[in-house]
Structure 1
Amino acid sequence: MKFAVDGMGGDHAPLEVVKGCVDAVAELGVEITITGPADRIEAELAKYDYDQTKISVLNTTEVVDSDEAPVQAIRRKKDSSLRRAIELVKEGDCDGIISAGSTGALLAGGLFIIGRIKGIHRPALAPLIPGANGRFMIIDVGANTDCKPEQLHQFAHMGRVYFEDILGFIKPKIGLVNIGAEAEKGNELTKATYELLVADKGLNFVGNVEPRDSITGDVQVLVCDGFVGNTILKTFEGTVKTMMELIKASLMKTTQGKIGGLLIKSSLKEMMKAYDYRETGGSAFLGLNGIVVKAHGSSDALAFKNAIKQAARVAESGFIDHFKAEIEKN
C-alpha cells in the first residue's frame, strides 16, 4: 500500500509530519509520498534512519493556509502540497491521502478531484471516539452543517458499513441524535429522518439518542448534521480536558492527594491515553471515491502515524468497493 501525505498540513509541519511518516513506514511497512518543498522535507528526513525505498518526496511550491477560502485555494494553488497529494490518489499512484491542513480545502479537493461515490448525496466527516463501552462514531461532525433527511439516511449506512468492514461489528447499532428519546421529539429534520431510519430494515436502528447518552459507546453510529455533530465533538473534547485538569489540581492540593495521585498514576495515564485523539489519528471522509483521512490540525508524529494506520485499515478492508455495492443495491 502507498499513501500520499500532505507534508505542509498542520501546525507542526513538516517536522512532525515527516517523523510520523518515518514511524509509519517502520511499523506498517507502507510506502509514502510526502508532498511539499523538497528542501525542507528532505532536511527533516535526513535526521532519521529509515528505508529510503519506502518514502519519496514530491516537490511542490505552494501551501494552502488555514484561513484561505477552501474552494478558491484548491482551484488556484495547483502546485500546493495538499492539491498534489489529492491528485496522487486520483491518478492511482497512491491508495489514500492524509492531511492535517484545512478541513474545508481537503473536502473541496476530495470532491472536485477525487469525486463522490456515485449515488452519494454528500460526503461526511466521521471520527471514531472512545466511549465507556467501546468506540463510537459521530457522522457528520462538520462537513455538512445543513442536511436533508435522505442525506442523514445515507450517513447511517456509511457508518454501518464502516463498523462492519473495518471494526468487525455485526449489525452495529444506529442512533439518531435528538433532544429526547421519544419518536415524536425533535425538529422537522430529525422527525423525517427518524421515519426513514425506522423503516429501513437493513439498519439496526435503536431510535433517538440524547447527547448525554451519546458518549457511552452503547450505540456505535450516531447520526446527525455537521452542526450538531461538531458541537457534540468539541463539547466532549473540552469536557475531557477540563476534567483531567480538575482531577490533577484536586490531587495536588494536599499531601494525601499527592500520595493518592501516585497510587492511581498508571490508571490516570491509561485513561488519558484512551481519550487522546492522537491514538485514533484522524477522521475519515466517508462517501468520497477514495480514501481521505483528516488528521487533527495540531497533530504530532504519533497522531500522523496513527492517521496513516487508519487509512491503511480502510484500504485493507475494501470499504469503498463494499459501500459502492451497497449504494447500487439500494
Structure 2
Amino acid sequence: MASLRLAVDAMGGDFGLRSTVPASVLALNENSDLHITLVGDRTAIAEALRSQSYDSSRLDILHAKDSVAMDEKPAVALRQKRESSMAIALGLLRDGDVSAVVSAGNTGALVAMGCIIVERMNNVRRPAMCAPIPSDNGHTYMLDLGANTECVARDLAQFAVMGSALARVIDGRAAPRVGVLNIGAELIKGTPVVREAGDLIAANPHLNYIGFVEGGDIFGDGVDVVVCDGFVGNVALKVSEGVASFIRRRLQAQLSASVMGAVLGMLLKPVLRRMQRANDPRRYNGAVLLGLKGLVVKGHGGSDVQSFLTTLRQAARAVSVDLSRQIAAELAEENPPTPVAQ
C-alpha cells in the first residue's frame, strides 16, 4: 500500500482552520497509518491545535506566509500566490514528499496551480473534477463538476476514461456503466460536442458505454459514471443540492403546520433521520481532480469539520488503491492518444 501522507491546505475554504485542523486530528485518530502535514500560518495552526489531542509524531506544520482567497482570480493566484498554503502543499506533492493534497480552497486556483505545479498526466488536455452523487445505486460518479466550463468532444471522451477507472478502482465495479449527460436519450439530441463525445466514447472498447442519460438518471440505478462539461456538471450539482434543501424545508414546514402534522412528524422521525443520514452531503464531500500526475482532492468551499473529514478519508482511500497510477495506465491505453493542446 502507498504511504498515507497527506498535505492539507489548512487555510483554504470558508471556515479555514476551524474545519481543517479538527478534521485532520479526527482523521489521524481514526487511522494509525496516516501522516498529515498542515500547511499554513504556523502560529495560527499551533493555536488551533492547542486544545486537540493527537499523535504529534504523525502531524507536521509547514509555514506558509500567504493564502489564496476564495474569490481570487486563478490567474492572479498563479502570479502572486506562489508562497501560499495551496501552492506549497502542491509543491510537496510534486516533490514526492506527500501522497496527496487536500484543499477546500478556491477551485479555479487549485486547478490552475495543480496543472502548473503538479502537471498533467501524459496526453491529458484538461483535468476533471469528479465526485460521488447520492443515488439508488449507492452513488453515481459525475465529472466534470467545475474545473472546465468549456470542453471539446475529446475532453469528454477522456473524462469517461478517467471516471470509469475511478469507479472500478475505488468501488470494485468490473465494468462501470458510462453515460453522457444530455437533454434526451435519442442520438439526435444535444450539441455537436455532446454527440461527437458520445461517438468517441462508444468507439472505445475499454468502456461500458450505455449512451446518453438525462438529469434524472443521475440519481437512479442505471448508470455508474455521468460525463459532462464543468459548466453543466456544476449547475446540475448545485441544483440537486438546492432541490434537496427545498424539499427538506417544505417537509419541515408542513409537519409543523398543524397538530396532526406534528404527530405524524414524531412517527416519521426515525425514518426521516435515517434518510437524512444516508443523503447527508457531508458523506459525499470530496472531489478528486483527475488527470494530474499527483492526487489532489477538493473539498466543498463550505466544508465543516465532518465534511472535511470525509474529504480526508476520500484522499486516504484513493492513495491506498494507488488511484493516480491506475488512471495513468488507463489513459495510456487510449487509441489514438489524445493530443495535448497547451
**Structure 2 length normalisation: TM-score?**
0.94
- Specify the alignment match of 2:50 in structure 1: 46
Residue 27 (1) aligns with residue 43 (2): no
Match of 2:20 among 10, 14, 17: 17
Residue 299 of structure 1 aligns to a residue in which SS?
coil
Native 8 Å contact 1:31 1:55 kept in 2: yes
Distance 1:181 1:62 in 2: 48
Native 8 Å contact 2:161 2:331 kept in 1: no
Aligned-pair CA distance for 1:280: 2.1
Match of 1:120 among 109, 117, 124: 124
Match of 2:239 among 235, 241, 250: 235
Which structure 1 residue ranges, 4+ long, deviate > 3 Å from structure 2?
A: none
Residue 278 (1) aligns with residue 282 (2): yes
- Specify the alignment match of 1:250 in structure 2: 254
Native 8 Å contact 1:28 1:309 kept in 2: no
Native 8 Å contact 1:126 1:284 kept in 2: yes
**Given residue 14 of structure 2, which amino acid in structure 1 is its aligned partner?**
D
Percent identity of paired positions between Structure 1 and Structure 2: 38
Native 8 Å contact 2:162 2:330 kept in 1: no
Residue 7 (1) aligns with residue 10 (2): yes
- Specify the alignment match of 2:338 in structure 1: none
Distance 2:194 2:86 in 1: 35
Native 8 Å contact 2:162 2:331 kept in 1: no
Aligned-pair CA distance for 1:183: 1.2
Aligned-pair CA distance for 1:279: 1.1
Q: Residues 292-322 of structure 1: CA distance to partner in whole angstroms, max 9, x if unpaired?
A: 1110111111111111110111111122111
- Specify the alignment match of 1:265 in structure 2: 269
Residues 1:236 and 1:217: Cα distance change in structure 2 (over 3 Å): farther
- Specify the alignment match of 1:148 in structure 2: 152
Q: Residues 62-99 of structure 1: CA distance to partner in whole angstroms, max 9, x if unpaired?
A: 11111211132133222211111111111111111111
Residue 274 of structure 2 aligns to a residue in which SS?
helix
Match of 2:199 among 189, 195, 199: 195
Between 1:121-130 and 1:254-263, the stretch displaced more is 254-263
- Specify the alignment match of 1:302 in structure 2: 306
Aligned-pair CA distance for 1:273: 2.0
Residue 103 (1) aligns with residue 100 (2): no
Match runs of 1:127-146 below 5 Å: 127-146=131-150
Distance 1:299 1:270 in 2: 22
Native 8 Å contact 1:160 1:172 kept in 2: yes
Native 8 Å contact 1:174 1:206 kept in 2: yes
Aligned length: 330
Native 8 Å contact 1:214 1:222 kept in 2: yes
Structure 1 unmatched ranges of 5 or more:
none
- Specify the alignment match of 2:317 in structure 1: 313
Residue 60 (1) aligns with residue 43 (2): no
Between 1:90-99 and 1:271-280, the stretch displaced more is 271-280
Residue 207 (1) aligns with residue 211 (2): yes
Native 8 Å contact 2:136 2:220 kept in 1: yes
- Specify the alignment match of 1:167 in structure 2: 171
Distance 1:179 1:52 in 2: 52
Aligned-pair CA distance for 1:276: 1.9
Match runs of 1:174-189 below 5 Å: 174-189=178-193
Residues 1:2 and 1:152: Cα distance change in structure 2 (over 3 Å): same
Give RMSD over aligned pairs. 1.1
